[in-house]
C-alpha cells in the first residue's frame, strides 16, 4: 500500500474507534471525557505527522518549524498550505481537495460508528 493509503486507513480506524467509544460512554466522567476528547485528537495529529514525514521525503520538501507548529495548532489551514507549497503546479488542487474529502470521510465514519453502537446498545432484549 502507499503511504497515503496507510495513513487514511489509520485515520479512519481512529474515527471508528472514537465514534464507538463516544456512543458506548454517553455520559462519561470528567477524566474519561478528557481521554475520549483528546486521545483521538492526539492520535490524529500523530498520524498526520507520520504521513507528513513520509510525504516530505517523497516530494523532497523541507517543512519549516513554523509550518509544523501551524499544522499542530490549526491543521485545517496549514495542511493545505503545506500541500500547496509541496506539490507541483497542476497537482495542488487535487491534493487539497483530497485532504478535505478525507476529513469529511473521517467525520462520516465517526458518526456511522457511533450510530451503529448506539443502535446496538438500545436494541431490545428478547424475552
In a domain, 127, yes or no: no
Range of the domain at 79: 3-121
In a domain, 48, yes or no: yes
In a domain, 17, yes or no: yes
Number of domains in the chain: 1
**pTM of the entire predicted model:** 0.87
In a domain, 28, yes or no: yes
pLDDT digits 0-9 by tens, 73-120: 888 899 999 999 999 999 999 999 999 999 999 999 999 999 999 999
Q: What pLDDT band is residue 127 in, cutting at 50, 70 and 90?
A: low
In a domain, 98, yes or no: yes
In a domain, 19, yes or no: yes
How far apart are the C-alpha atoms of 88 and 47, rounded to whole Å?
24
Instruction: Specify the 3-state DSSP secondary structure of 125.
Output: coil
pLDDT digits 0-9 by tens, 21-78: 999 998 889 999 999 989 999 999 999 999 999 999 989 999 899 988 988 888 889 9
In a domain, 76, yes or no: yes
- Measured in whole angstroms, how far is the alpha carbon of residue 59 from the centre of its chain? 22
Amino acid at each position: 500500500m502507499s503511504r497515503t493509503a496507510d495513513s487514511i486507513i489509520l485515520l479512519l480506524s481512529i474515527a471508528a474507534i472514537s465514534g464507538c467509544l463516544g456512543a458506548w460512554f454517553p455520559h462519561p466522567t470528567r477524566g474519561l471525557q478528557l481521554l475520549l476528547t483528546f486521545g483521538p485528537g492526539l492520535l490524529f495529529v500523530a498520524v498526520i505527522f507520520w504521513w507528513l514525514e513520509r510525504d516530505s521525503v517523497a516530494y523532497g520538501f523541507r517543512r519549516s518549524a513554523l509550518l509544523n507548529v501551524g499544522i499542530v495548532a490549526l491543521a485545517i489551514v496549514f495542511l493545505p498550505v503545506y500541500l500547496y507549497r509541496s506539490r507541483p503546479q497542476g497537482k495542488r488542487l487535487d491534493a487539497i481537495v483530497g485532504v478535505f474529502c478525507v476529513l469529511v470521510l473521517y467525520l462520516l465514519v465517526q458518526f456511522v460508528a457511533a450510530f451503529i453502537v448506539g443502535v446496538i446498545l438500545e436494541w431490545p432484549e428478547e424475552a
